[in-house]
Structure 1
Amino acid sequence: MSMKELLFSFQGRIGRKVYWTWNLFYYLMIIGFGIGINTLFPAYGYLIFPVFLIFVLVPDLAITAKRWHDRGKSNWLLLLNIPLIIGRMTVPAADPGIPTDTTTLQMVTSLAALACGAWILIECGFLKGQPGDNQYGPEPK
């Protein structure tokens, strides 16, 4: 599978090793970009960071879709990412200069993100894929 297919196609299957490698790279990239942007542009980091997250969203969803496929499950399970995406987009967007109180909506969103994130982690990160070929393609090597 080419890098373009891996990062931008929602077809095919990948194993846990590729999934974990991507996630390690993804989160290191987010942390590095966050530190860099807050160092270089501290007044605008809360505006720039969500834009960066939008750019890395498609590759993250494509990788996760392929992992769901390896488990024999549909792309519809990508809907579990919605609370995670909302959380990633809203937390960095909060202006650090303005004190805020946690609202009930934020608490519910955080709990939903925790539950969905745990499900994705267990299913995609720890459980084996279906052995042999399935409707989404051949078993990854």
Structure 2
Amino acid sequence: MQWFILAMKKAFNFSDRSRRKEYWMFILFTLIFSIVLTIIDTVAGLEIAEDMGILSTLFSIILIIPTLSVTVRRLHDVGKSGWWVLISLIPIIGFIVLLVFTVKDSEAKTNTFGPNPKAAF
């Protein structure tokens, strides 16, 4: 949970690096919260359209910027420009390329985006 909170605190930081653990824990907790909110929407009848609940939709909208920033910082950690996040717009291939980048280990040394975040822990 601390990694999710850390990523949320740095929601508007697009210039540093995020280690693998921070990125994937953020994704995991986002997924868990989304599932819980979808269940609440369904049980409470808060659907505004079929398969579209109020709480889960608001949660998704709120997390657009934090998700984008943690992804850009993760790309920085592997030595890629944040603009590589746009490759996800290409169906299937873009998702696979972005997945490979986010799974890669950090660059061990300081790169153009800052020092290795693993060294701080």
TM-score scaled by structure 1?
0.67
- Is 1:66 matched with 2:90? no
**Aligned-partner residue type, residue 81 of structure 2:** S
Q: Work out which of the residue numbers 131, 134, 138 in structure 1 matches 2:111.
A: 134
Structure with bigger strand share is 2
In structure 2, C-alpha distance between the alignment counterparts of 1:15 and 1:36, rounded to whole Å: 32
Q: How big is the shift at 1:70?
A: 0.4
Runs of 5+ consecutive residues of structure 2 not aligned to the other structure: none
How many residues end up aligned between the 2 structures? Answer: 110
* One-letter amino acid of the structure 2 residue matched with residue 117 of structure 1: F
| Structure 1 residues 63 and 133, CA gap change in structure 2 (3 angstroms) | same
Which residue number in structure 2 is paired with residue 34 of structure 1? Answer: 38
User: Equivalents in 2 of 1:128, 1:76: separation in Å?
Assistant: 19
Say what the alpha-carbon RMSD is for the aligned residues. Answer: 2.1
Sequence identity of aligned pairs in percent?
28
Which 5+ residue runs of structure 1 have no aligned equivalent?
84-111
Q: TM-score, normalised by structure 2?
A: 0.77
Letter paired with 1:17 = K
The AA in structure 1 aligned to 2:10 is L
Higher relative contact order (CA 8 A, sep 6+): 1
Out of 117, 125, 135, which is 2:95 matched to? 117
Question: Does the C-alpha gap of structure 1 residues 115 and 55 become closer, same or farther in structure 2, counting only changes over 3 Å?
Answer: same
After the TM superposition, which residues 1-141 of structure 1 pair with which residues of structure 2 at under 5 Å, given as runs?
A: 3=6, 5-44=9-48, 46=52, 48=54, 49-82=56-89, 112=91, 114-125=92-103, 127-141=104-118
What residue identity is the alignment partner of 1:57?
Answer: I
Distance of 1:68 and 1:115 partners within structure 2? 17
Is the partner of 2:63 in helix, strand or coil? helix
| 1: CA distance, partners of 2:47 / 2:20 | 39
CA–CA distance in 2 between the matches of 1:5 and 1:55?
A: 13
- Moved segments of 4+, more than 6 Å: none
